[in-house]
A and B are shown apart, each in its own frame.
Chain A
Amino acid sequence: DVKVTQSSRYLVKRTGEKVFLECVQDMDHENMFWYRQDPGLGLRLIYFSYDVKMKEKGDIPEGYSVSREKKERFSLILESASTNQTSMYLCASSSGGAGTGELFFGEGSRLTVL
């Protein structure tokens, strides 16, 4: 069964901490995405990557960085967590041209920053 796995379902961190959210897919997909989901705002794209070591900013990249050292793994990094980064974070992957194949999502990581 194809799968996108996010390392943590629930995290609680303190303001100023460095936070790593890991995502691994087993479908050999070229494209990987990080979204943030907030009530009333839907899904907003933080960063995406269409190849190893490549990254592109999405709509809300401020305060975040990403790393893609291997094809199957895409990490989201919060250098210095802030309370306004409390949210649900969703990782997704797709094949083909980045906007053509359907997205496969992980279960999400709910981050609370105190």
Chain B
Amino acid sequence: AQKVTQAQTEISVVEKEDVTLDCVYETRDTTYYLFWYKQPPSGELVFLIRRNSFDEQNEISGRYSWNFQKSTSSFNFTITASQVVDSAVYFCALSGGNQFYFGTGTSLTVIP
């Protein structure tokens, strides 16, 4: 069965702190994709990154970085020097077959 677990329901950090959002997934597929999405207070989910199962290289995009480790079935997301605009709900997702499987989301609040 496909499953995504985001154990952190809510996180609060003070501006400029670094924060890591955890994502653990389960799948029996050998080929799959992992995603992160951001849902700001306005409500529309925004795509952040996609990773396929054969590419374990970590990725950095500005203040955002992602650590994909197949050995631990994890795809963690780190925000460096957090800002108030990073306050949102973040979803990790796994694709398998024709479907996407989402975690329950982590609500991040960055306090000024």
Contacts and interface: CB of A to CB of B under 8 A. Distances in A.
Given A41-B104, A42-B104, A100 B47 contact: no
B68 to A, nearest CB: 16
Interface string A78-101: 000000000010101000011110
Interface in A63-114: 88, 90, 92, 97-100, 102-108
Contact of B42 (A50, A56, A107): A107
Contacts of B98: 31, 48, 50, 56, 97-99
A58 interface: yes
Nearest to B45: A105
A27 interface: no
By size class, the interface of chain A is 20 to 34
Interface residues of B, number: 25
A102 B35 contact: yes
A98 to B, nearest CB: 4
A8 B97 CA distance: 30
A45 B95 contact: no
Contacts of B99: 45, 48, 58, 98-99
Interface string B29-68: 0001101010000111111001000000000000000000
B91 A42 contact: yes
A45 B101 CA distance: 8
B102 interface: yes
A43 B103 CA distance: 8
Contacts of B35: 102-103
A10 B96 CA distance: 32
B100 A104 contact: no
Contacts of B6: 42
Contacts of B37: 103, 105
30 contacts: A31-B98, A40-B9, A40-B104, A41-B104, A42-B91, A42-B104, A44-B102, A45-B99, A48-B99, A58-B99, A88-B43, A92-B45, A97-B98, A98-B98, A99-B32, A99-B33, A99-B95, A99-B96, A99-B97, A99-B99, A100-B95, A102-B50, A103-B35, A103-B45, A103-B47, A104-B47, A105-B45, A106-B44, A107-B42, A107-B44
